[in-house]
A and B are shown apart, each in its own frame.
Chain A
């Protein structure tokens, strides 16, 4: 049977992709951010997952407002990256795992989550930057299953709904008959706001609360509305819902293996967590 070996949440800021492309990991601005990642890479080298389920939000590469699914799951043999319009280098494709994807789609729909399935899907920086951080060197050691959550156009799915989606995702993975080691990765956050006169808003106090609660009391975060999270974490800080999907997929009790938090990367407070299900 497939087994979830752990969960990771990490920011996915495009500027990180540029810093990687330009080799700036040791630059004084970037070093305190990149310094958070080696322990997670070491864990991945040790655990060697076969598949990464990537819970992320598309920023207008694959989806436009003509057809915008709330939850979409990729079911392709590979996923192409492409030009997003502002200069991030286009990366080589990522291998998919269509069999696991279809199993997840069937299981989620059976569990009353009405998923949009995608046999072609461009993956943007929210998918590629975390993979480049976790497996540097443009390697492709894991197969991927993209799970895209709408954060472009309100109404967004509620935090509670996203946590339940994660729980259903956990059941889906656990019922896959083949022996697979699966890591679930939620990308985005933490607090940031790009638009409006409140651009540049960062809320360290709320972020630290989230880093604490997501581990031991995720239910507390599910009681917030989307509007609450926009107020507390900024318009783009709502990406916290990706972290809640990831957390829902893990068991009720988890151990924190690693945690990192750094302000700022570009306009964003960058967070990183590595969680393992407790026995």
Chain B
């Protein structure tokens, strides 16, 4: 049987989180999953590098974490549901990260969403 996941056309700006990304991003996502716990969020804030090291993040992942760069975090294997917990540490919601990923201001991103209803 042909590979199911490779037989489909890519969707621009869209990265379905599959086995390849899940393997690549395992350490990163495991760290972000730990942010469900307030004590872990506090530990991360106290010493980000030490916290990343504890979970074994690679340099690509550490750099993306340092830069709070969502597209780089996705490329490094991050899954948006776990990354949302990382963004939450800085009080950033899905509209903030939407604006960042699309290169828009928050106001412009919100206006785009509202316009989708017209």
Segment with Cβ contacts to B, from A97-105, A131-139, A152-160, A211-219: A152-160
- Given contacts A195-B80, A235-B14, A235-B80, whether A200 and B109 have CB atoms under 8 Å apart is yes
Per-residue contact bits, chain A 193-236, to B (CB 8 Å; 1 contact, 0 not): 11111111010100000000000000000000101001100111
Q: What are 29 inter-chain pairs, A to B, with CB distance below 8 A?
A: A59-B81, A59-B84, A60-B81, A64-B30, A65-B26, A85-B84, A85-B88, A86-B85, A153-B22, A154-B5, A154-B16, A155-B5, A194-B80, A194-B97, A195-B70, A195-B80, A195-B83, A196-B15, A197-B12, A197-B102, A200-B112, A202-B116, A202-B117, A230-B11, A264-B114, A264-B116, A267-B94, A267-B95, A269-B117
| Chain B positions within 8 Å of A44 at CB level | none
Inter-subunit contact A202/B113 (CB<8 Å) = yes
Number of B residues whose C-beta is below 8 Å from A?
51
Segment with Cβ contacts to A, from B36-44, B47-55, B56-64: B36-44
Q: How far is the CA of A85 from the CA of B42 in the complex (A)?
A: 11
| Chain A positions within 8 Å of B30 at CB level | 64-66
Please list the residues of chain A having a beta carbon within 8 angstroms of any beta carbon in chain B. Answer: 15, 59-61, 64-66, 82-87, 152-155, 193-200, 202, 204, 225, 227, 230-231, 234-236, 262-264, 266-267, 269
